[in-house]
Amino acid sequence: MQFKFNLSFQRYYRTGSIHHFEHRQLSKYKLKCGLEIHTQLNTRKKLFSQSTNDPFHSIESPNVHTSYFDIALPGTQPILNYEAVLYAIRLSLAINAKVNLQSSFDRKHYFYGDQPMGYQITQHYQPFATGGQIKLNRDIDGVDDKNIRIIQLQLEQDTGKSVYRENEGLTLIDLNRSNVPLIEMVTQPDFTDVKQIRAFIKKYQNLVRHLNVSTGDLETGAMRVDVNLSVNDFARVELKNLPNTSSIINAVKFEFQRQVQIIEDGKGPELLLHPETRGWNGEATIKLRSKETTIDYRYMPDPELPVISLSPLAVEGVAKTLPPAPEDVIKKLMAAPYSLSLKDAKLLTIKGNSQDQMYTQPELLKFYVETFQCYLKDVKKSENRKINYKLPTNWIIHELLGILNKLQMPLKELTVIMTPENFSEFLMLIHRKEISNATGKLLLFHAVENLHNSDVIKEQKTVNFTSLIDEYDLGKISQIDDNELEKLCQDIIDEIKDKKLIENIVSGKKKNSIKYLIGLGMRVSQGRISAQEFERMFRKVLEI
Amino acid sequence: MVAMLCGIRSGICVGRVVCRSYAVKAWVGEKLKSTEELGEYLSKETWSVEEYLSDSPNSALEQPSEDTVKKLLKLSGLSVEGNDIGRIQQRLGKQLSFIEKLHRIPLENEESIDESKARVMPREIAALNYEDLLDKIATQRTNLDLGEVEGSWDSTGLAKIKQSKWFVLRGGLMHNRN
C-alpha cells in the first residue's frame, strides 16, 4: 500500500552523514529485528484463477493476464490453484515449519486502487504453516552461527501494480500481478545485527530458488522484505517499501541510529512509545502511519473458499521429492573427492541473480558430478593415473559456461550431444597432455559452436573430439618435415640459458635431462609433435 | 420453472424449520401442477422478514454509535458528508438485531460444531493425500467462461476511463475521501 508521507516527524530526519554516531558507545543500545518476507510463487497459474502468472515478463502488456475474478467482476468467485499449495508445502518443509493440515483463507479489507475486490484473500486465523527455522552459519553464510526462528507462513494474493502519474493526477493500474500467489513468512525478532539480516535474505533467496518455488529476485519485486525493528525494547517500528538489499540494510542502519539519538536525548518514552510504520526514501526513514492511523482490516473468514485439508501423506509425499538442502550439497562438494572451493561449490548449487542464465543449477550439478565420475574412471584406465581434481571444475565452470553464455546456448541442449562421457574424453586429451590448454579452449569452443549452428543436435549424434581435432588440424603432426623440426629443436637449445644443462646431456652425466628438452618441444608445438620425434631430433642435433 | 419454485418453496420451509430445530435436510413439498397453483402459492403470505427483525428486546441498545457509523463509512471508502447518520444507525441496528436473533437459534450438537468450517462451501472435506494433490494440479484447466484464456477478452474494455490497456484511477478518488 502506498500512503501520503506525514512530515510531522521531519525534525528527526538526518539526511546528512551519520558517521558521528560511530564514535559513540553503541553497545548499550540493543537492536532487535524481525522480518516479514513476501515471496511470489512462480506457479504457472494465479492463486484463485487459472490465468497466467507472469507479472514480470508481461510488464509491457498491462492487463493481459486477467480473468474475470482477477479484476473482481461482480459475481466471480475464487477457485484455489493447488500448485500454490504444493509450493507452500515445499517451502514449509525446507525451513522445518509444521504444515497445518487444516488451514483456511480470510479476507483482509482495505481500499486501494490496486486491490479491486476491496479486500485481499490471506490466511489470518489459520495460517498454512507455523514454526520452523533457518540456521545461519559461519562457514557458508559468513556470520556467526545463529538460529532465526520462523513464526508462520501464509498463502495470500498479490495486488495489482500502480504507476503514479502525479502531473495528470492519475494512477494507472495493471492487474497482471493481481491474484498472483504469495507466501508471507514472518520471523521472530531474532536479528541483532544488520549482517545477520543480509545473510538471511541471501540464504532465503537461495533457498526459494533451489526449491524452484520463486525467482527470489528483489529487483523484480518477486521478493519483498519489511523489517520490524526496536531498540532497547521501545515500541516496534515497521520499515516498508524497501526495494533491494542495500535499501534494507541502509534503512535499518539509519533507523537504529535515529532511535539511539532519540533515546540519548531522553525522548524515548515520549517518541518511541507507540508502534509506527516508516518508509525509506533512499536517505532517511519517513513516517507513513502511526497508532492513530492504524488500519482496521476487519478480517473475516472467506466464505467462498473451502478450508485446505491435507492428510499427513500429502506432506510426506512432498517431503520425498525435496532436493537436498543447498547447504548439504555445498558441504558434499567441498569434501573429497570433489574438493571444490566454497565459491565453485556455491556456483554449482545456488542460482545467481542473472535473469538469462544458460543453465539451471540442478542441470549443471548433474553434468559436473557425472563428468567427474567418468573422468575418475578414465584416469584409472590411463597411463598417468594422477587425478587432477580441478580439471572438471575448471573446464566446466570456467570454460564451458563462458562459451554457452557467449553463444546463448542452453546447457540442456548441449548435454544431449555432449554427454558427460564425451566431456570426460575431452578432459582426458588435456590430462594426457595430448593437447595444450590453449588448444583445448579452441577445440571446445569450436565443438560447441559447431553443435549450436548445425543439425547435429537434431540428429542426436554424440561429439567425437578426435575427429574434430583432425578437422581443425589440432592433432599431432605425424609427417613432419625434418628440416623444420631440426630448426625448432635448435631454437629451443639456443634459448636455454643454463648451458651446463646441455653439456651434462651431451656428456652423459645427466642423461634424463633430455626429457626437459622434449617437454619444451611439446609445449612449443602444443603437443602436436610426438615426444619420440623430438627425442630423435634432439639426439641428432646434440650428436648423442 | 415449476421445479425451481418447488425448490424455493422447500427452501422457505427449511427457513421456518431452521428456527425451530435446525434441520439438516431440506423438506420438499408437493409438486405444483399448474400456473394457477403456482400463482396461488406465491400470493399466500407464509412468513415475513419483519417477524425476525422486530422481536429483539434491546433493539435501541444494539444501535451502533455515531462514531462507529462514521468509522465504518471511512473503512468502506464512503463519504460521511451527505449521509444520514441517524438513518444508518437505525438500519444497522435492525441488521444487528437480526444477526443476534440468528445467533440465538438453538443448534443440534452445538458443542461439536467447528466454527472455522462455517462457510458456503461444503463443511467436511476429505483430506488430500499426495496423489490427490498432484491429480488436482494436473486436472486444473483454463476456463474460457471465466475469462482465463489470454486474449479471449479485453479486461479494460468495460472500463469507462482507460489509457492504452491500463485501468485509470483518478487521483481525486484517493485524496478526497474522509
The three-class DSSP label of residue A286 is strand
- B132, exposed or middle or buried, with CB in 10 Å at 0-12, 13-18, 19+? middle
Q: What is the mean pLDDT of chain A?
A: 87
Task: Name the residue ranges covered by the structural domains of chain B.
Answer: 63-104
C-alpha closest to that of A118 among A107, A132, A130 = A107
Q: How would you label B77-113 residue by residue, b for 16+ Cβ within 10 Å and e otherwise?
A: eeeeeeeeeeebbeebbbebbbeebeeeeeeeeeeee
Q: Which residues contact A522 (CB under 8 A, 6 or more apart)?
A: A433, A529, A531, A534
Do residues A162 and B142 touch, judged by C-beta distance below 8 A? no
| Chain A hits for B173, Cβ within 8 Å | 113
Optimal mutation site among A60, A67, A304, interface B, most CBs of chain B within 10 A: A67
Relative to beta strand A181-187, strand A223-231 is: unpaired
Partner residue opposite B155 with nearest CB, options A63, A82, A83 = A63
Task: Report d(CA A203, CA A150) in Å as an integer.
Answer: 14
Residue with the bigger pLDDT between A237 and B172: it is A237
Find the helix or strand (DSSP H, E) in which A333 lies.
Answer: helix A326-334
Other Cβ atoms within 10 Å of A542 Cβ, number: 15
Query: What percentage of chain A has pLDDT greater than the value 70?
Result: 89
pLDDT, mean of residues B130-136? 96
CB contact under 8 A, A172 and B143: no
Q: Is the pLDDT of residue B22 over 90?
A: no
What single-letter amino acid sits at A539? Answer: R
A313 Cβ under 8 Å from any chain B Cβ: yes
The reported pLDDT for the residue numbered A476 is 58
Task: Report d(CA A352, CA A346) in Å as an integer.
Answer: 9
Task: Report d(CA A55, CA A61) in Å as an integer.
Answer: 9
Q: Could you read off the pLDDT of A114-128 as tens digits, one per residue? A: 899 999 999 999 999
B4 Cβ under 8 Å from any chain A Cβ: no
pLDDT, mean of residues A491-497? 87
CB contact under 8 A, A102 and B167: no
Give all strands (DSSP E) within B36-165, no chain letters. Answer: 162-163
Task: Report d(CA A32, CA A7) in Å as an integer.
Answer: 26
B114 Cβ under 8 Å from any chain A Cβ: no
The β-bridge partners of A323 are none
The reported pLDDT for the residue numbered A262 is 94
Q: Is the pLDDT of residue B10 over 80?
A: no
What single DSSP character describes residue A14?
A: -
Q: What's the number of CA atoms in the CB half-sphere (13 Å) around residue A171?
A: 18
CA quadruple A105, A114, A355, A138: dihedral, nearest 10: -60
If you count them, how many residues does chain B have?
178
Q: Which residues contact B72 (CB under 8 A, 6 or more apart)?
A: B64, B92
Is the bond preceding residue A337 a cis peptide, omega within 30 degrees? Answer: yes
Q: How confident is the model at residue B9 (pLDDT cuts 50, 70, 90)?
A: very low
Which residue shows C-alpha cell 406465491? B42
Optimal mutation site among A69, A309, A322, interface B, most CBs of chain B within 10 A: A309
The model scores a pTM over 0.80: no
Q: Which residues contact B91 (CB under 8 A, 6 or more apart)?
A: none
Find the helix or strand (DSSP H, E) in which A300 lies.
Answer: strand A300-301
Do residues A335 and A139 touch, judged by C-beta distance below 8 A? no
Question: Which of A224-233, A247-256, A488-497 shows the lowest mean pLDDT across its residues?
Answer: A488-497
Other Cβ atoms within 10 Å of B144 Cβ, number: 10
Q: Is the pLDDT of residue A375 over 70?
A: yes
Compute and round to an integer the Cα radius of gyration of chain A. Answer: 32
Other Cβ atoms within 10 Å of B76 Cβ, number: 13
Q: Could you read off the pLDDT of A159-183 as tens digits, one per residue? A: 999 888 888 888 899 999 999 999 9
| Chain A hits for B142, Cβ within 8 Å | 45, 50-51
CB contact under 8 A, B155 and A175: yes
Q: How confident is the model at residue A471 (pLDDT cuts 50, 70, 90)?
A: low
pLDDT, mean of residues A294-312? 88
Residue with the bigger pLDDT between A409 and A37: it is A37
Do residues A201 and A187 touch, judged by C-beta distance below 8 A? no
The β-bridge partners of B9 are none
Q: How would you label A185-210 residue by residue, b for 16+ Cβ within 10 Å and e otherwise?
A: bbbebbbeebbbbbbbbbbbbbbbbb
Which residue shows C-alpha cell 417477524? B51
Q: How confident is the model at residue A236 (pLDDT cuts 50, 70, 90)?
A: very high
Relative to beta strand A129-130, strand A98-99 is: antiparallel
Question: Which of A7-11, A512-516, B132-136, B169-173 shows the lowest mean pLDDT across its residues?
Answer: A7-11
B80 Cβ under 8 Å from any chain A Cβ: no
Relative to beta strand A237-239, strand A276-280 is: parallel
Question: Which of A27-36, A143-152, A356-365 shows the lowest mean pLDDT across its residues?
Answer: A356-365
| Cell reading at A235 | 515500541
Task: Name the residue ranges covered by the structural domains of chain A.
Answer: 28-301, 326-471, 482-542
Find the helix or strand (DSSP H, E) in which B168 lies.
Answer: strand B166-170
| Cell reading at A423 | 566431456
Q: Is the pLDDT of residue B91 over 50?
A: yes
Task: Report d(CA A320, CA A90) in Å as an integer.
Answer: 10
A106 Cβ under 8 Å from any chain B Cβ: no
Compute and round to an integer the Cα radius of gyration of chain B. Answer: 24
CB contact under 8 A, A301 and B116: yes
